[in-house]
Each structure stands twice: as C-alpha cells, then as structure tokens.
Amino acid sequence: MASHPSALEVRGLTKRFDRPAVDALDLIVRSGEFYALLGPNGAGKTTTLRMVAGLLQPDAGSIAIAGIDALRDPVAAKQVTAWVSDEPMIYDKLTPLEYLEFVAGLWGVDPVLAERSARALLVSLGLEANMHERCEGFSKGMRQKVALAGALIHDPRLIILDEPLTGLDAVSARHVKGLLGERVRAGCTVIMTTHILEVAERMADRIGVITSGRLVAEGTLAELRQQNGRNDTSLEDVFIALVHSEAAAA
C-alpha cells in the first residue's frame, strides 16, 4: 500500500436518503498523511466514511483504497482498512486481551504475533491494568479504546475514525492521539472526522471541509487560511467563515 500514491480515491460518490447526504463527492487522501474531515452536523462525513468502510452501498461513484476497487473487491479493501465508529461495539463477556485475540483470529493473524500486538496496543492505550478484566464493566471511553485496538490488530494501512476522541478524558485522548501519530510515522494513513478543531489544527497534514455532502475546501491549515484571506486566525475562524459562506450561497 505504501507504494500506491493515494490511500483513498473517491470519485462522484453519492448517497441519497430522503435528500442527498453525499453529493457527487470527489476526495483524494495521499498515502502516509493524516487527513481531518471536518464539517457541520449532518454534512455527510459519517455517510461518506461508512461507504468507504464498506458498510453502506453508494448510489453512485467509485472508491479505491490503495488502488483496490472497494466496491468490486470489498474483502481486499477491508483487509487493509480499519474502521472505528463513534459507537464502539465489543464483546462484553471477553477481556480486552481475549477480544483482540478473537478479532486477530478472524483476520488470520498468527496467534503469537496477535498476542504481542494486542498487549502492545493495550499498553499504549493505557489499558494495561484492565487487560484481564471483562469489558462489561468498562466506561464508554475504555470501550472506545478497546474498539480502536481491535480495529488496529490486523495492522491496517488505512485507519478511518469517526469522532474517535468524543467522550475521552485528557489522558485517554492523549493515548489515542499518540497511537495515531505513531501509525502515521510508520507509514499508515489516517482519516478522521472531528468536531474538535484544535485536534485537526495540531495533528492533520491536510484538512477537508464538507458541507451538504460536497467538499468545499481542502488544504493545509496555512492554505485554508490563505484561501479565506485569514492569515493569522485559528482553524475555528476559518471553519466558521467557510460554513457561513456556503450556507449563504445555498
């Protein structure tokens, strides 16, 4: 995957419910970058990512993950992709270690390697002390971290996260950010939605802004500022200006 220039290439992606949620969206995320997908509530971020992750069938368009046609070959695409939703689903009766070993087994990861990776993931997410406790007593934040570890256990090259930091305390958020930063430095690609603009500002190589199912701005923070003639303002100011101007144009 590292050899393919784009980790994700979406063309004309469209999904309609009672009205268009994603509207002929074109989006390219380069291999090895940390890409933050921003947008107001209902902009179409989750719908886009659910289609990319193979959980929702598009009405039209194409999705290529590291050059793999994800609509024609969803299994190959999923093999290199992690999906972390904002509603973590884990097995309550298992301990985190058992859960990770179970997920690794589904992916066919060698058991010795799986146990080593599982322990390393749980340690880096601050769950070392809870490794052998059943997940049923865990808080939402702890469950979120177990779900994240489960999504990373098969060593995916493209990591897609929908609001991964919501509900996490400062220490847990730091663990998650640290882990994602590490993965990017190791050559993985991260695509993340967030309403925490400060995180996008600090972590993202590039930022895309979606409103009404379309990409309305994209670039580094410096480029977004420049495009908006706001050279010394925060991402929050740029974001609000963008969303206002799109709403006014609609």
Residues that bind ligand ATP (CB under 6 A): 17, 21, 39, 41-47
Shortest approach of ligand ATP to residue 61 CB, angstroms? Answer: 15
Q: Cβ 176 to ligand ATP, closest distance in Å?
A: 18
Q: State the Cα–Cα distance between residues 184 and 29, nearest whole angstrom.
A: 13
Whole-number minimum distance, CB 166 to ligand ATP, in Å? Answer: 10
Q: Is 213 left (phi over 0), alpha (psi -120 to 50) or beta?
A: left
- Residue closer to ligand ATP by CB (options 117, 211) is 211
By C-beta, is 31 or 194 nearer to ligand ATP? 194
Pick the closer one to ligand ATP by CB: 46 or 117.
46
Between 104 and 204, name the residue whose CB sits nearer to ligand ATP: 204
SS3 126: coil
Classify residue 241 by burial, with Cβ atoms within 10 Å: 0-12, 13-18, 19+: middle
Task: Please state the φ and ψ torsions of residue 101, each to the nearest 5 degrees.
Answer: -70, -35
Where do runs of H (alpha helix) occur along the chain?
45-52, 74-79, 96-107, 111-124, 140-152, 170-185, 197-203, 221-227, 235-249
Q: How far is the CB of 239 from ligand ATP (least distance, A)?
A: 12
In the complex with ligand ATP, the residue whose CB is nearer, 43 or 221, is: 43
Closest approach of ligand ATP to the CB of residue 247, in Å = 14
